[in-house]
Amino acid sequence: MAKANINQNIIAKLKTAGLVGRGGACYPTWMKWQAVKDNMSKLNPDGRRAYVICNVSEGEPGVKKDGFVLRKWPDRVVDGMKIAVHFLGAERGYIYINEKYYQEMGGVLGELTDDTKIDIFIKPHEAGYIGGEENSIMNAIEGRKIEPRLRPPFPVEKGLWGYPTLINNVETFYNVHQVNIGKYKNTRFVTIAGDCLWEGVYEFDINAKISEILAATKNLPGYPFFVQIGGGASGEVLDSDQLDAPVTGAGSITVYSKIKHSPLQVLRNWANYFQKESCGQCTPCREGTYRLRNELNKPNPDWELIAVLLDNLRFASFCGLGCSVPIPIRSYIQNVVSKMPEEEIRLPNATKQMICECLK
């Protein structure tokens, strides 16, 4: 098993490697680590402490790459955490892991973290999708209600118990290990799911195009299709002629058959999911997702009202869940539905034009 090769030049290594976080935001890893270190120095001498969290929540539908990495290289993930704990002189590190992964990997992780400053914290069953949001994670560990916090301050400034906190996901810590031993290859793991033959997790160059990834894995459909990139709930939707771009966000490609899925049902599925997973903390998201779901499930939805609800969700929601609801819906309408002929979309042409106009 890999042992932590602690190197105080890790910031320089991360910077040279150009490593960015793999949790979805793609923020430069070295900048986040350095921000935590800098914020520690701003505290008085008696309060210079920090915490490290490895996010193994992986609650975004269609994303399975963190579980893949953790099963295959748990020692490398833990080693990446050890490097972070040592670099910061952190008080503790926490592996925040969902129940399913803990059942599979809890024993191995327990052995790897024995006699270290790293503890395992099982994500509460009731936490749901929002339980993977970084502030909700800290609330869970502190024993508080699992919901987002007001930002700023951000975790790097004021996180666990009010101290600077570093939060990265599994793949990021794995890559930290690879950077530290000089074996980082500027790749990322991609989950492919949906209407395809070979679902799974694959490793590709970070700049590989979506079309190249689907072709190389023999998952490029021979029928009309579209894809959702970066997550099966909040990810952007692209048509089959828009695949000349790299994978973004949480690193996933979900393939949808245009023949199999009707537009209204696709929209309803997203709305139902977001309404179910809203924590209910803020009114725009709690009421917005509820009304959006109800409206889309009507035989004749009010598309002007839906457009208003999406704007409210985007601009007034407290956290990223509500803000992300418009992303799949609007991108699906703009990139896919607007191009579909009347006989294929199964909606009158006038209705299609109204939908596209309202949600452009």
Q: What is the mean pLDDT of residues 210-234?
A: 95
pLDDT score of 266 = 93
Structure tokens at 227: 């894809």
Q: How many CB atoms lie within 10 A of CB 142?
A: 12
CATH superfamily of 10-180: NADH-ubiquinone oxidoreductase 51kDa subunit (3.40.50.11540)
Distance CA 186, CA 51 (A): 27
CATH topology for 263-358 is de novo design (two linked rop proteins) (1.20.1440)
Write the CB contacts of 43 (distance below 8 Å, at least 6 apart in sequence): 163, 164
Question: Is the pLDDT reported for residue 45 higher than 90?
Answer: no
Side-chain-facing half-sphere of 270: CA atoms under 13 Å:
28
pLDDT score of 210 = 97
pLDDT score of 345 = 60
pLDDT score of 154 = 93
pLDDT score of 317 = 86
CATH topology for 189-257 is Ubiquitin-like (UB roll) (3.10.20)
Instruction: Compute the mean pLDDT over every residue in the chain, rounded to the nearest whole number.
Output: 90
Q: Which long-range contacts (CB under 8 A, 24 or more apart) does 341-349 make?
A: 344/224, 344/258, 345/263, 346/262, 346/263, 347/263, 347/264
Query: Which parts of the chain fold into alpha helices (H)?
Result: 10-17, 29-41, 65-72, 74-88, 99-112, 134-142, 170-180, 210-216, 263-277, 283-296, 303-316, 320-324, 326-335, 342-345, 349-358
pLDDT score of 316 = 87
Write the CB contacts of 14 (distance below 8 Å, at least 6 apart in sequence): 28, 29, 30, 33, 176, 179
Question: Is the pLDDT reported for residue 91 higher than 70?
Answer: yes
Domain limits, the chain: 10-180, 189-257, 263-358
- What is the chain's Cα-based Rg? 21
Distance CA 176, CA 193 (A): 27
More confident residue, 187 or 355: 187
Question: Is the pLDDT reported for residue 104 higher than 60?
Answer: yes
Task: Out of 14-23, 203-212, 350-359, pick the least confident.
Answer: 350-359
Distance CA 30, CA 46 (A): 26
pLDDT score of 235 = 92
pLDDT tens, position by position, 151-206: 889 999 999 999 999 999 999 999 999 999 999 999 999 999 999 999 999 999 99
pLDDT score of 2 = 44
* Percent of residues, the chain, with pLDDT higher than 70: 91
pLDDT score of 318 = 83
pLDDT tens, position by position, 260-287: 998 889 999 999 999 998 888 888 889 9
Distance CA 168, CA 81 (A): 9
pLDDT tens, position by position, 309-330: 999 999 988 888 889 999 999 9
Distance CA 97, CA 148 (A): 18
pLDDT score of 83 = 96
* pLDDT category of residue 86 using cuts at 50, 70 and 90: very high
Residue with structure tokens 């350095």?
Answer: 34
Question: Is the pLDDT reported for residue 3 higher than 60?
Answer: no
Residue 190: closest CA among 169, 221, 217 = 217
